[in-house]
């Protein structure tokens, strides 16, 4: 892949005529939160519809590639194609790399194979792979047939690694040098080599088997005299990422060890690629944000996801919850005779179930987050369970007093006592379910964010109705 | 602040005796997900309780500072103090910087001011600020009194910026050079200057007013001949971060523009500090993950949060939801006579409310995430509303058929028709509430993740009961 050419960049800023300084993400196009203003988006759309390509180009040209990508996402599907035509010059590899997955896939499917191949050749391996990995095999083959053999080989090899693995994500472009070099040797090598990438933050030092033995931050290299050996500058403690490591795990390592780049090694320990943090920040945000979506059963939850995907992931969840709701209904049905005699039970029972559900959701969100951040292990699970039990007791007591007193006044003191007791029981059960269900899924190596909700909801709903109606009968308040 | 000393690091790896290569996060101490094994944690705890400081030290010494920090978090409060005593040599500034906020605050409060001051002097400004910012003012003053005047001034100045702002987060240590330098000048300057930080990834080029005019990636500097002017190597398009920018906004800029470091400027545009991505990855994860916690009303949701804080944030939420549940109960009470006549209504009504609640939560999670990621603006809100309306219609139709048919068989066809119609109505209302409530909060400049849930739940519950019971009466199935 052709990487950013140093010479090109120099020329662009060369000569007497100074390019004006430009601050990214500021100016009339943006609101205070760095989002493209609706007025600006509308202006671009109108100039597109007027078929005024020059004015469209002038409007879009000052934007950073990431903002051009945002512009595409804000447009409707049909307008995206018009925009792409109007600003072909500005459709750099950076724009393509920054596009939302769904929007990119949509646009790539609309383009002829040769045009996609042209874009692919400009991209780094990782971005090229991202561009075509979701296409069906026929389309992939058609595009790869148009790509230069060397680039094709790199992409095909990346595609052999599992999806969302380090092997897929890595860049093959990196700087690796032998242990024998000095700082001076390295600088001379970097200046002389023509085809090196310019996107690197650390230099990997490798042995004769091409196994990484250390990493040099460029700032250390720059601060040392030429005659210092690299082995004296490099850091030997390093994080090596195996090609088959999952992206979630990669993201956690980058966070935990504050990495800027990391060496990716194959099964035999050979250096085969690098990961840089700028590609990982997206994944960190994605992985950290997906729990809220998973817990609510919203699937991928991206607003650009096709309608049929959104429907199928969400309806599956609603059907599962229909099942749990039916279980709760069966419990109510069992107490039908009691409700007929005392309709106040029907009025109050949703309160017990609803508050229990909320308490369970709170504990579950905390637990799922702690598991995702690797904060919760067998070493501290018992401590967390005890802590949540204490919180549940305090919450249960508070809510029980409030609802018990109100019920005693509005209905009868006996009913107040029953609902208060049921509330304490349900909040404790819910709190415990909120911890134990996700922990159990984690121990079974299942993602706790995916399935915990259904189980916790079933427990909190059923137990809410059962505790309240059961206590009403058991206390002799009403008979079955 | 004293930064990592190049000379020290060199010496450590110097000489004939080779330090063994060490791969971070691998080895007998770790499980396959890079968490400390319970057996290892137990071994350390036991050697602590046996008062065997040497064996404790030997166990902990091979760990990376981030893993030592994890070890502290896994321990109970009392064990943490023992551990800190046993491994004082290993309690580096990195360990302190990596500690969970609550655990760090807890430990700092337990130490005498002079000991904290000693740690503070080893830290970079940003980490030092983090260490003392949550202490009360008296403790802060006592510690700062023990710190060298220069460091004290830097910390005090950082504390004048609002919490979670760029001014608080930034490091003051950076490399800034005048526009007149060449690549060679820069290298000579970096080699000669003794007191420069070694933690930098880009060099900021400034004008005579100390305003940043461009940024040089170190890789570009290393690849250019000595006589090239820095103004020809540097990138002029840059992201400048004002000192008062909120950390959430900072995190989004780093992600969007794939930044490694960024210049922080004061009101007059002077360069006053830098932010580097390794400090921002934590914030990206925190900001992306907090929505799941906020939506569930779990407050900060950290498992190390003190009990009283967890109780107070969660109980407030439960009380708010008690209010919404009471509204729903009032609706049921209004239909009490109908329920007395047909107890099947009481059995089935929670199903309508529960599925509506789930559908609303799904849409709300998607909307809140899109707002947090700056994907949703006035330009595409209408498109999202239409899309969610379509999904709601499809979901509503599917669920209505299922529950309608089952009810028709188990109860009566008339009741089946009523529950099917109520389900469609409630899923549509819930879906719309899930979009419109967070969008409304966002337009009022309120965080949609904080308060949307209560309102959406109130709408989905009340409307679920109202639609079902109301339709049962309106259709003549049962009279009030």
The strand pairing partners of A165, in sequence order, are: A246
Q: Where in chain B is the domain with CATH 3.10.580.10?
A: 176-295
Q: Which of residues 108-167 of A touch B (CB under 8 A)?
A: none
Q: Where in chain B is the domain with CATH 1.25.60.10?
A: 6-164
- Chain B residues within an 8 Å CB radius of A213: 21
pLDDT score of A26: 67
Assess contact for A219 and B201: CB atoms under 8 A: yes
DSSP assigned state of A212:
E
Give the phi and the psi of residue B92 in degrees, each rounded to 5: -75, 170
Hey, is the C-beta of B253 within 8 angstroms of any chain A C-beta? yes
From residue B154, alpha-carbon distances to A273, B125, B197, B234, B272 in Å are: 40, 7, 15, 29, 11
Token pair belonging to B333? 């009470």
Q: Which residue in A has a C-alpha nearest to residue B301's C-alpha?
A: A366
Hey, is the C-beta of B376 within 8 angstroms of any chain A C-beta? yes
Complex ipTM value: 0.89
C-alpha to C-alpha distance for B49 and B202, rounded to whole angstroms: 47
pLDDT score of B13: 38
From residue B8, alpha-carbon distances to A205, B3, B13, B143, B248 in Å are: 20, 11, 9, 27, 36
Assess contact for A253 and A241: CB atoms under 8 A: yes
Q: Where in chain A is the domain with CATH 1.25.60.10?
A: 27-166
Pairing of strands A240-242, A237-238: unpaired
pLDDT score of B23: 64
Assess contact for A389 and A421: CB atoms under 8 A: no
Question: Three-state DSSP class for B250?
Answer: helix
Pick the closest to residue A321 from A190, A162, A458, A188 (CA basis): A458
pLDDT tens by residue, B107-145: 888 778 888 888 888 888 888 888 888 888 888 888 899
C-alpha to C-alpha distance for B265 and B462, rounded to whole angstroms: 51
The strand pairing partners of A36, in sequence order, are: A30
pLDDT tens by residue, B426-476: 999 999 999 999 999 999 999 999 889 999 999 999 999 999 999 999 999
Low-confidence ranges of chain A (pLDDT < 70): 1-26
DSSP E strands in B18-111: the ranges are 22-23
Nearest-by-Cβ selection for B399 from A279, A318, A376: A318
Q: Which residue in A has a C-alpha nearest to residue B73's C-alpha?
A: A375
Assess contact for A356 and A460: CB atoms under 8 A: yes
For helices B125-132 and B137-145, the axis angle rounded to 10 degrees is 140
What element of type H or E holds A238? strand A237-238
pLDDT score of A13: 38
pLDDT score of B292: 87
Inter-chain touch A260–B278, beta carbons under 8 Å: yes
Token pair belonging to B455? 């309102």
C-alpha to C-alpha distance for A86 and B283, rounded to whole angstroms: 38
C-alpha to C-alpha distance for A272 and A167, rounded to whole angstroms: 9
C-alpha to C-alpha distance for B70 and B60, rounded to whole angstroms: 11
Which residue do the tokens 């500097």 mark? Answer: B221
Top-confidence residue, A24 or B360? B360
pLDDT score of B11: 37
Q: Any long-range contacts for B333-337 (C-beta under 8 Å, 24+ apart)?
A: B333/A347, B335/B465, B335/B469, B335/B470, B335/B472, B335/B473, B335/B480, B336/A343, B336/A346, B336/A347, B337/B479, B337/B480
C-alpha to C-alpha distance for A136 and A247, rounded to whole angstroms: 22
pLDDT score of B25: 63
Q: Is the dihedral of CA A46, A52, A55, A59 positive or negative?
A: positive
C-alpha to C-alpha distance for A432 and A385, rounded to whole angstroms: 7
Token pair belonging to B147? 């710190």
Q: Which residue in A has a C-alpha nearest to residue B258's C-alpha?
A: A278
Q: Which of residues 47-86 of B touch A (CB under 8 A)?
A: 64, 66, 70, 73-74, 76
pLDDT tens by residue, B2-60: 444 433 433 333 333 333 445 666 677 888 888 999 999 999 999 998 988 889 999 99
Q: Any long-range contacts for B182-189 (C-beta under 8 Å, 24+ apart)?
A: B182/B226, B182/B227, B182/B228, B182/B229, B182/B230, B183/B221, B183/B224, B183/B225, B183/B226, B183/B227, B183/B228, B183/B229, B183/B230, B183/B233, B184/B226, B184/B227, B185/B230, B186/A222, B186/B216, B186/B221, B186/B230, B187/A222, B187/B221, B187/B226
Top-confidence residue, B478 or A7? B478
Q: Which residue in B has a C-alpha nearest to residue A44's C-alpha?
A: B379
C-alpha to C-alpha distance for A139 and B397, rounded to whole angstroms: 35
Classify domain B307-474 by CATH number: 1.10.357.20
Runs of H (alpha helix) within B75-164: 77-86, 93-98, 101-110, 113-122, 125-132, 137-145, 149-159
Inter-chain touch A346–B364, beta carbons under 8 Å: no
Q: Where in chain A is the domain with CATH 1.10.357.20?
A: 307-474
Name the CATH superfamily, with its identifier, for domain A176-295: CBS-domain (3.10.580.10)
What element of type H or E holds A262? strand A261-265
Q: Which of residues 279-298 of B touch A (CB under 8 A)?
A: 279-282, 284-286, 288-289, 291-293, 295-298
Nearest-by-Cβ selection for B375 from A73, A328, A368: A73
Top-confidence residue, A93 or B152? B152
**Lowest mean pLDDT: which of A191-200, B310-319, B368-377?**
A191-200
Inter-chain touch B340–A340, beta carbons under 8 Å: yes
Mutate: best of B286, B296, B330, B345, partner A, most A CBs <10 A: B296
Inter-chain touch B351–A373, beta carbons under 8 Å: no
Pick the closest to residue B350 from A353, A62, A236 (CA basis): A353
Assess contact for A35 and B208: CB atoms under 8 A: no
Token pair belonging to B339? 């329920």
Nearest-by-Cβ selection for A318 from B339, B358, B376: B358
Classify domain B6-164 by CATH number: 1.25.60.10
What is the Cβ-side half-sphere exposure of residue A422, based on CA atoms within 13 angstroms?
34
The full length of chain B comes to 480
Per-residue burial over B177-213, b if 16 or more Cβ lie within 10 Å, else e, is: beeebbbebbbebbeeeeebbbbbbbbbbbeeebebb
pLDDT tens by residue, B256-298: 999 999 999 999 999 999 999 998 999 999 988 998 899 999 9
A27-166 belongs to CATH 1.25.60.10: yes
The strand pairing partners of B203, in sequence order, are: B216
Pairing of strands B240-242, B212-217: unpaired
């Amino acid at each position: 892949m052709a990487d950013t050419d140093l010479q090109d960049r120099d020329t662009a800023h060369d000569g007497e005529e100074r390019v004006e300084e430009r601050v990214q993400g500021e100016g009339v196009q943006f609101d205070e939160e760095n989002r493209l203003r609706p007025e600006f988006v509308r202006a671009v759309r109108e100039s597109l519809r007027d078929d005024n390509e020059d004015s469209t180009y002038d409007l879009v040209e000052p934007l950073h590639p990431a903002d051009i990508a945002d512009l595409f996402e804000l447009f409707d599907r049909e307008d995206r194609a018009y925009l792409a035509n109007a600003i072909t010059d500005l459709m750099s590899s950076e724009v393509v790399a920054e596009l939302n997955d769904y929007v990119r896939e949509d646009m790539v499917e609309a383009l002829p194979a040769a045009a996609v191949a042209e874009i692919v050749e400009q991209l780094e391996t990782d971005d090229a792979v991202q561009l075509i990995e979701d296409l069906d095999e026929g389309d992939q083959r058609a595009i790869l047939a148009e790509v230069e053999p060397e680039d094709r080989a790199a992409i095909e090899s990346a595609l052999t690694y599992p999806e969302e693995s380090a092997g897929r994500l890595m860049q093959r472009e990196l700087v690796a040098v032998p242990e024998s070099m000095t700082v001076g040797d390295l600088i001379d090598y970097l200046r002389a080599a023509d085809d090196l990438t310019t996107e690197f933050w650390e230099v990997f030092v490798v042995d004769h088997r091409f196994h990484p033995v250390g990493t040099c931050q460029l700032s250390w290299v720059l601060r040392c005299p030429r005659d210092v050996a690299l082995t004296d500058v490099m850091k030997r403690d390093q994080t090596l990422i195996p090609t088959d490591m999952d992206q979630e795990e990669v993201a956690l390592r980058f966070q935990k060890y504050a990495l800027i780049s990391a060496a990716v090694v194959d099964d035999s320990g050979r250096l085969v690629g690098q990961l840089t943090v700028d590609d990982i920040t997206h994944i960190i945000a994605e992985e950290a944000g997906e729990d809220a979506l998973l817990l609510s059963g919203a699937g991928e939850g991206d607003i650009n996801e096709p309608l049929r995907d959104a429907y199928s992931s969400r309806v599956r969840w609603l059907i599962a919850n229909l099942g749990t709701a039916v279980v709760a209904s069966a419990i109510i049905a069992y107490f039908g005779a009691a409700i007929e005699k005392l309709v106040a039970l029907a009025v109050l029972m949703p309160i017990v179930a609803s508050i229990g559900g909320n308490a369970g959701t709170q504990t579950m969100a905390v637990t799922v987050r702690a598991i995702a951040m690797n904060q919760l292990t067998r070493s501290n699970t018992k401590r967390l369970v005890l802590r949540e039990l204490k919180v549940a007791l305090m919450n249960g007591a508070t809510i029980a007093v409030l609802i018990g007193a109100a019920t005693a006044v509005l209905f009868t003191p006996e009913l107040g006592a029953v609902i208060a007791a049921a509330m304490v029981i349900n909040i404790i059960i819910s709190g415990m379910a909120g911890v134990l269900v996700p922990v159990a899924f984690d121990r079974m190596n299942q993602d706790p964010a995916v399935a915990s909700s259904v189980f916790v909801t079933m427990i909190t709903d059923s137990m809410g109705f059962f505790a309240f109606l059961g206590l009403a009968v058991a206390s002799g308040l009403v008979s079955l």
